[in-house]
Structure 1
Amino acid sequence: MSDDQTATNAQPWNDPNAEPFLQIKSITKKFGAFTAVNNVSLDIYKGEIFCLLGGSGCGKSTLLRMLSGFENPTSGQIIIDGQDQAGVAPYARETNMMFQSYALFPHMTVEKNIAYGLKRDGIPKAEIATRVTDMLSLVQLDQFATRKPHQLSGGQRQRVALARSLIKKPKLLMLDEPLGALDKKLREETQFELMKIQESLGVTFVVVTHDQEEAMTLSSRIGVMTAGEIVQVGTPHEIYEFPQNRFVADFIGSVNIFEGRISEDGTDHVVVKSQDTGTDIYVPHGISGVEGQKVAVAVRPEKILISRTPQNDMRNAVTGVVDEIAYMGNATVFQVLLDSGKRVRVSQSNRTRSDDGALTWDDRVHIGWAGAAGILVTS
């Protein structure tokens, strides 16, 4: 198998012949005069962990509830594994949903919580016992089977809820802010556990989250939402490195935005005259624009170099003064006040334990970035 074929198999969304597992076609949801989800179309493929990422009120949870059948679309179509879901009740869909609150039964043990759905479906006791044992092993809760939810940690309760959602073998599992109740370290650990469990079962996950780091870690692809619309779909790398508009560039991670106007529009480059930097900004790729057009250049903090000496090898270079410093352990973040008055965020990896000669407050510094580090955004 060629490298191209391997890449296509790993990323079915790049294969024009691949059949989507979940198709969302022009879905709109209105509550009176308010449009919560506006004409959203989306294809999700079997075995993906697809994250819907956006701020509060952007419509991501409403979209999830329509997929699960808890809300009916005002218009549009949802197709799961070739089956139109119109008129199909939530309990009749081959889907399940894991709620943010986990919704565990406090009076039931772990194993009874996990078995509840199977018992309701009338599955034979022997089969229930086998499937519960297998699921307890999968989520590493074997020794906690007889405990009740209040006797578990937050991470353990999260795994009980996950096991209960998966034991009915849904084709599609929807997770609404699944790790939101966990502290940062436990959330990071649980993200990788969740990925391993999903990979071992092959179930398609659709995850709603407002946490950018969580979406970047978990997902095969991300759909960024705002005001009821999906404004970009892509892999974490594509979303971060190649945002299609200003909202995505500004929403994902940390970024510096330099306003300006096109002063030179070449076939292979653009020059932006910016008052924010007090200089011209060179971007080595062209756009469909015209001279004088208002644009912005987005540059990630980690792609900017900072030093006391001039950045002569950088295509874009400016000067300023260190205004604020934040030591983050793995990196130090500098806020630099440029001569133009613009504040710029610069991130520098801490590769050594020694800080001899480190930059400090009020140091005069030179910062710069390669032309290719800049992202030209027009809206």
Structure 2
Amino acid sequence: RRDLHAHPEPGWTEFRTAAKVAKTLAELGYTVKTGADTIRQDAMMGVPSAEKLAKEQQRAIAEGADPDWVKKMDGGRTGVLGVMKFSEDGPVVAVRFDMDSNDVTETGEASHRANKEGFSSCHAGAMHACGHDGHTTVGLALARLLASLKDQLCGTIKLCFQPAEEGVRGAHAMVESGIVDDVDYMLGAHFGFKMRKTGTVACNVTGFLATSKYDACFQGVPAHAGAAPEQGKNALLASACAALNLHAISRHSAGASRINVGRLDAGSGRNVIGDKALLCLETRGATSEINAFMETEAQRIIKAAAMMYDVKVDIEKVGGAAGGSNSPELAAFLEEEAK
């Protein structure tokens, strides 16, 4: 876990982590799939450029990743599946773990435990701030445990190691590859970040909001703000107009709805009409239908703002997932077994 914490990798660039997972699963006797066998390329969202991915592959190899496994993950297809079929027939159970890090710079404070004990992030701008280093480690521990018990178990286990959970990107591309089509029971887990009491178990998490993530790129025309302002087309103002009006979308009477513009980068200089802007936003809804309403309204407002300022806009969906809740019966069973 500390090794993974020291080498965090953002979504679709988890080449080192995924290669270590694949190699370990293979050594434990699992049938291992990765690359195109676990990720459907046209279902990937928010993927870095080809140049960025190639650079990250070389970085991972330099940090000790097995080159053969890394090569299989070309294009950022870093999902890993380990399958073990036991001696007797039974259900197909899948367990899912995520691997990616956050776009966060780890603190340099001397009191920070990772700094004191020598396992802080070696990558500026990347950190395991959401526990996925632990999730991956738990997944490999489970893989080792199940392999040791394989003669006592029935059915099939599928261990899914998922990339790009942050930004809600990786699960969709893995599901679309077909690797969980035959699964009877699907389990996922996350460390309880609000849980303080040792031995506490929380299995029945309900009411996950549906969500969608978008990047809107506005393109205008630059001009000197003093000499020829009329010749410019202001993408900065268009994006600012969109940001304000996105937050004015009506809330929905059927359930919770959310909108947030989390980032806005615009302009190029104090005396230049702002010719470019990037607006990053997300929508959420208590149901997929409510989220769809928020999505439709958000796109309408962004396009209207671009039209108002006579600039171009390109809207890209970079993440998203449907709403959902756990199965109450399965959650109750798991909680009792865990206790």
**TM-score relative to the length of structure 1:** 0.23
**Bigger radius of gyration:** 1
Which fold has the larger relative contact order, with Cα–Cα distance below 8 Å and residues 6 or more apart in sequence? Answer: 2
Which has the larger helix fraction? 2
Instruction: From the two aligned structures, give the one with the greater strand fraction.
Output: 1
TM-score by length of 2: 0.25
